[in-house]
Structure 1
């Protein structure tokens, strides 16, 4: 592919369509080393850019080189120019090859790179076939939607997931919790020890507690004990254990209240003895189990009428809302 000399000012860097700045978590790098190399040896390799129909160039590879060129007041730089008709899949593959180490540095970066490909409107079938397997994923039907859900987690939480190297399943579990709860947990990062299991547990208990009390984060934070623990002189480990325990104790009575409410709803139905309803009393599974006890067919029609009644349907909706 021919190399052209193009104006440095005509190249988008941060605004490039193919910039990974908003997608990859990268460790702080020492810019002095490549700068010294460029100073003594010059820029040996051309940058890679994409040219759109307006003539604007979008940087694909060579950010350090072009930044050095600007700092040294160079007017032009050698570049390999990809035409407007270049398949986006080819460009994504090129970026994967060039940034392979950083992209594969953790699950979070891998997921965010897949979301980067989605943002460029690469065909989903191609992403599943050509990106997922090389990145170590075994894609399933909802895999890309799950990646998008992960990308919507608070940025600070995604940073924690990357730093602590959470697994895909651990990260995905966190997508089931409200944004305000997750944001609160992130603010506690400097004073608590937040592992994947602790985040999951605290978010789950907080979600259940707030829902059952029909209250919000602000009211929860104003309750006795919360600020005392957070602002205490305890070690992060002790703060974490005490806060976990406090949230659990606040949430635990809710289980009893919800179970009592469900039991009361079922009792009001006056179900025939042939029908029984069971549920997970830990409230972890949103599911009702119906059991029919039949010793003969003479009561079959009565059972069917009960199961098809509007009263039972409304009761089921009410119970499921509580679970």
Structure 2
């Protein structure tokens, strides 16, 4: 059975639900990745802007299904009417969603967030969980499990700023789900630093986990903690993003591990007082879990070895102090 009317129809663009179409996949947290400009060049060359595909629902509203970017270009070019292929109100929902997936499969499959957004769209439109699991999860590259549905539902509730980052960086499902363990307030603040600091995904996770640990242990308000750490002053300081990032990491680490930080500071002070020659390197475990020191000596001539051994003999007391601290 065909649900498409045989002939194309001419409709006013203003009569179409375009940006507010219930089938619009581009939602909060999903960017268009500047695809419109390249599509515009192609379509202006070929001139293939029509027909669009629309769905006439039971309430008489006409929702765009396929051709969102072409509809934008038609409006931009001053068109008032367009030719459309109309899907009747009897068209099964899964047929329409399958068409939507096929027409935008590249964008929908771009990241875990974009795939989760499509799953969320299916749910919003009333498609049953069983249908999504059996029909659409395999199309999206997922195994057909309820766990995937739950993960998609969790992730899509993340703040818009976080979703945009996850989509752009193509974070995995595991990485995205991990972010759902933090409060929206903490996520929004940390992700707002991404243009000020030199942040990678692993650094963002480090900052989130560090701040979360301190907040839970000390029962502090987030803004009180940030004030104690002097975050605002640091972010506004006239230093490079890299330096700001390292300073913030250090502040959080000291607050998170106060005893460990004091021990490390004491060890570093002793190490600096040793004034070891540049060809003598001292290594240790910053977590002080391994109670040992490693010395590495670079020599180009026998005198370098003699100098190193003499200096190590002179700093024997300092070495003992460091070992005691460990």
TM-score by length of 1: 0.71
Give SS of 2:90's match. Answer: coil
Q: Which residue of 1 aligns with 2:64?
A: 59
Check if 1:174 corresponds to 2:179. yes
Check if 1:34 corresponds to 2:25. no
Residue 78 of structure 1 and its aligned partner are, at CA, apart by 1.6
How far does the alpha carbon of each residue in 1:148-194 deviate from its partner, in whole angstroms, 9 at most, with x for none? 11111111111111222221101110000011110110111112232
- Aligned residue runs from structure 1 range 107-186, under 5 A: 107-186=112-191
Which one of 235, 238, 245 corresponds to residue 240 of structure 1? 245
How far does the alpha carbon of each residue in 1:116-167 deviate from its partner, in whole angstroms, 9 at most, with x for none? 2121121111212222222222343322121111111111111111222221
Change in CA separation of 1:75 and 1:163 when aligned onto 2, cut-off 3 Å: closer
2:229–2:252: 8 Å Cα contact kept in structure 1? no
Check if 1:216 corresponds to 2:241. no
Q: How many positions carry a matched residue from both structures?
A: 254
Check if 1:197 corresponds to 2:202. yes
Report the aligned-residue RMSD: 2.5
1:181–1:217: 8 Å Cα contact kept in structure 2? yes
2:221 and 2:55 mapped to 1: Cα distance? Answer: 48
1:13–1:19: 8 Å Cα contact kept in structure 2? yes
Gapped regions of structure 1 (runs ≥ 5): 256-323
1:167 and 1:41 mapped to 2: Cα distance? Answer: 37
1:91 and 1:13 mapped to 2: Cα distance? Answer: 16
TM-score by length of 2: 0.70
How far does the alpha carbon of each residue in 1:230-258 deviate from its partner, in whole angstroms, 9 at most, with x for none? 22333323322221221122122499xxx
Gapped regions of structure 2 (runs ≥ 5): 261-326
**Computing the radius of gyration over CA atoms, which structure comes out larger, 1 or 2?**
2
Give SS of 2:54's match. Answer: strand
1:106–1:162: 8 Å Cα contact kept in structure 2? yes
Q: Which residue of 2 aligns with 1:48?
A: 53
How far does the alpha carbon of each residue in 1:182-216 deviate from its partner, in whole angstroms, 9 at most, with x for none? 01101111122322222222212212211222221
Change in CA separation of 1:215 and 1:65 when aligned onto 2, cut-off 3 Å: same
1:13–1:63: 8 Å Cα contact kept in structure 2? yes
Change in CA separation of 1:161 and 1:253 when aligned onto 2, cut-off 3 Å: same
1:25–1:109: 8 Å Cα contact kept in structure 2? no
